[in-house]
Amino acid sequence: MVIVPIHQSYSAPTTTAEDTLLKDVTGSELQKIIDSYKGEKAVLVNIWATWCAPCVKEFPEIVKLQRNYPDDLKVIFVSADFPQQRDEALNFLKKQKVDWTTYFKTGKDQPFIESLSQEWTGALPFTKVIDMNGDLVASWEQSASYEKFEHHVKTAINP
């Protein structure tokens, strides 16, 4: 039996900036995060992936939207990349100058999809806008323009 001194076998967990920028999340955890903004901010959830061309195309528009509505809107990005593409997702977030916590989908597809929306079929990108009362304003598959995002966000801010 090999006895490993405790100071060698254990190292205190350290939080890096990268851990904060991209955190693992399951569908149920994501719902709790969304709910935490109820009564405080409108929420826009966007499910994206580095390999998804329409996601990459619309991404800067959503970043712009967060910058334009810092007090009333919380954008929650969730990467649906495969685990081996996690570094690519992180690099993309940095390149897009995202400076708030985003998430990395873990767990099976079906419970994740259904926890977000019964209508979502699983195609990416997927966006869901929730108003300050926690009620759904809009959800859609496919990419969107800044104008479309803003239209629904304005409704969500002033329900």
Q: Which residues bind other proteins (CB under 8 A)?
A: 51-52, 54, 80, 82-83, 108-110, 112-114, 119-125, 135-142, 152
Q: Which is nearer to other proteins, 29 or 100 (CB)?
A: 29
Closest CB to other proteins among residues 99, 114: 114
Q: Can you give the C-alpha Rg of the chain in angstroms? A: 17
Angstrom distance (rounded) from CA 36 to CA 132: 11
Is the Cβ of residue 47 or residue 63 nearer to other proteins in the bound state? 47
CB of 106 to other proteins, least distance (A): 12
For the bound state, the minimum distance from the C-beta of residue 75 to other proteins, rounded and expressed in Å, comes to: 18
Query: Residue 36 CB, nearest distance to other proteins (Å)?
Result: 21
Residue closer to other proteins, measured from CB, 91 or 142: 142
Cβ(155)–Cβ(70) below 8 Å: no
Question: Cα–Cα–Cα angle for 59, 65, 68, nearest 5°?
Answer: 145
* Residue 7 Cβ vs other proteins, minimum distance, rounded to whole Å: 36
Phi-psi region at 107: left, alpha or beta (left = phi > 0; alpha = psi -120 to 50): left
Q: Nearer to other proteins by C-beta: 40 or 119?
A: 119
Return the exposure string of 143-159: e unless at least 16 CB atoms fall within 10 Å of the residue's CB, then b: bbeeeebbebbeebbee
What CA–CA distance (Å, rounded) separates 42 from 70?
A: 11
CB of 24 to other proteins, least distance (A): 16
